[in-house]
Structure 1
Amino acid sequence: MKEAVIVSGARTPIGRFGGSLKDVSASKLGATAIKGALKFSGINSEDVDEVVFGNSIQGAEAGYAARLSSLLAGLPKEVPSVAINKQCASGLEAINIAAQLIISNQADIVIAGGTESMSQSPFVKTYESRFGSESTNSDALINSISCPVNQYHMGVTAENLASKYKISRKAQDIYSLESQRRAVTAITDSKFKKQIVEVKISSESEAAFVNQDECPRPDSTLNKLSKLPPVFQENGTVTAGNSSVISDGAAAVVIMSLDKCKSLGIKPKLRWVSRGVAGVEPSLMGTGPVPALGKAILSAGLTLDDLDLIELNEAFASQSIYCIQELGLDMQKTNVNGSGISLGHPIGATGAVLVVKLMEEMNLNNHLFGGVSLCVGGGQGIASIFENVQI
């Protein structure tokens, strides 16, 4: 059986909602990440067999960002593409599918990842308005971050989780402050410099470039966080400060068969090991990583203690705290450079962003095994395990 390995990865900076990347489409963000990953790999674009790309808020500017990202990146028209929508898991599932294509001998070189421009989410009238009837507005952004089963904001599921498992407001704020500290430290130490490819934006006079994440708040303090009002429930505990940041960004990796790597003389970085997915109670959406990571670990023949590094997406602080406590994760191994609360959560891209971050940190510190996990809207969880093959 073939082995699937990641040989390179790149991501754009993550822009705040309505921030520096607001005028850059999801397809252009995706193309930027693909170009970067290809450049770092040394692979010729005509040798790519397929592009598998996550995108959650579809229809914002092209309706099929995966294909347009591929073409804008300069890949030949003969290279097919497919868009994956699994909400927050879209980018990671795209990587999983790419690995499975290689393992099943259907491809040798695949570009996988995800892209999202939450700033460009459509806000439209419904069908009835075409005939002059009264109609409601449809906000694709709100729809994308709402529970499709219970018809309320995902933040309510975070409140449900905090209430059921007695996770205090103070605990959530303390966790969020630490996420900010870690992200700011990582940026100060230039930890993301090698993985970020700059994004060209238009200005009135000349071209400008964005090359740094803009969501982290260096001036964040526990006192400031404690003064923020609850957003989703009166007398609740979930605030803008202990929730992930709505944002824009993209990431891509080049995945190859190990045999192809050897034949081309390319050194692989990570081996894709396993995948785990699970369904959970939709009203407690954030619990999904617990069973998903358990399944991925079991499939890999490992234990949680074998993981040297974990990227657990921070959708909400209450969700992250629950998963960390339930799984017994070591905080010295988990989200060491910050995550969604500090760095942002461009939903269709986040899973791929986490893989790129994981790869760079594992290689920097010679970690052997690492895991990526996210909760998913509608009550799901996903996780993937990777092995460092450069040690």
Structure 2
Amino acid sequence: MSTYVWQYLDEYRAERADILDAVETVFDSGRLVLGESVAGFEREFAAYHDLPYCTGVDNGTNALVLGLRALGVGPGDEVVTVSNTAAPTVVAIDAVGATPVFVDVHEDDHLMDTAQLRSAITPRTRCLLPVHLYGQSVDMAPVLELAAEHGLKVLEDCAQAHGARRHGRLVGTFGDAAAFSFYPTKVLGAYGDGGAVVTADEETDARLRRLRYYGMQERYYVVETPGHNSRLDEVQAEILRRKLRRLDAYIAGRRAVAERYRQGLGDVPDLVLPRVAEGNDHVYYVHVVRHPDRDRILKALTAYDIHLNISYPWPVHTMTGFAHLGVGKGALPVTERLAGEIFSLPMYPSLRADEQDRVIGALREVIAAG
């Protein structure tokens, strides 16, 4: 079975009683859409971030789409982001009619190279969209400085970084708004799709609430601005309320797994382990490593019945669906080089030490065999 399946099964077995109680709570309430579970989760997730507003939506992609729309991004605008990300980041920009503009990433931590932002800004730029990739924060100080200088909006993509901090401050609290995904594999994951947008701005939140509900003010008939049907499900919201209380414990478990990898693999030649950028608290949504002989290693590991993922093998700008952007091969050299070397080791809080040691031992053997 895949790492995802093991993660889900381990968690479900450990938390089954609470999860089933969450389902019963919703069914017994008689309110299956936008009831107290969604409202309660919104209050509690906002409070976790010390922010006043949170709008629950149906998935992380639409959290980005609605976040962009609520910030006024639309056709003719440009949004500066990275290509070293999951495709939904860029799909969302395209969905609102805007054009993604890419900057490269740092080789050591794989995060947005903020030194390239200034040269990427044009008169059409409307928004900066940093991606807190793999579980740690982009350096937000230069992002915010440039946004203020040029009058730009900032939407944080926090889909992979629930609970991550920079200089003690939670991701999602820096920009004008921040989008989260609660896909089951996330650091805070539902048992289906889910997402949310947090903000400190009352009017942005009001727009988000209209946009997720056809463009209406919480009741049918009067559409103010055409919107979407993008409501967070009550059952998922109630499960997320329960799991939010355990978020810090999930993060502690992931960090323990990362530390065991560091101890077991830190001396392996040419294997580059995750680097935590100065000032960051990493939550290790995924544990991405690098090796120049990646493809041989992954093939050899299958003989040990170890099948590892790559996050991500194809930079978004190289995908056929975005060929119209005209970003040719070689335009983002670090992003492209990383795509040929990175792969992900199993990472979830309940990963047992013996399971992890089997991965460590096999990886050491395969790399040594050269």
TM category, shorter: under 0.3
Q: Structure with the greater relative contact order (CA < 8 A, sep ≥ 6): 1 or 2?
A: 1
Q: TM-score, normalised by structure 1?
A: 0.25
Q: TM-score, normalised by structure 2?
A: 0.26
